[in-house]
Amino acid sequence: DAGVIQSPRHEVTEMGQEVTLRCKPISGHDYLFWYRQTMMRGLELLIYFNNNVPIDDSGMPEDRFSAKMPNASFSTLKIQPSEPRDSAVYFCASARFYGYTFGSGTRLTVV
């Protein structure tokens, strides 16, 4: 099993640009989570899906953030327009029962 796959690993973009982060969960996992990690705030849950349906998006900071899961093997997190304060590491995690498996993250820098 290749684990949770995220792309890109690094993204540097200019303020105002659209950013799309991608995630492929582990096959058979029916939960998918998007987290953001910063030194100041630690790990923050942004949104999670169950069976491709968004269940809780209360952690999404603003309308500039949106997430989709069109099928069981793919999810995207989009930021439009991006701002410097969005700079962070974004993790995707998937789960079937109790334990979460995290991807290696996307390090986003907005300049």
Residue numbers of the site for other proteins (CB under 8 A)? 4, 30-31, 42-43, 45, 48, 50, 55-56, 91, 93, 95-105, 107
Nearest approach in angstroms of CB 56 to other proteins is: 8
Nearest approach in angstroms of CB 43 to other proteins is: 5
Dihedral of alpha carbons 42, 89, 84, 32, sign = negative
Strand bridging mode 19-24 / 74-79: antiparallel
Beta carbons within 10 angstroms of residue 106's beta carbon = 22
Query: Which residue, 48 or 65, has its beta carbon nearer to other proteins?
Result: 48
Nearest approach in angstroms of CB 28 to other proteins is: 12
State how far the Cα of 44 lies from the Cα of 37, in Å rounded to an integer: 6
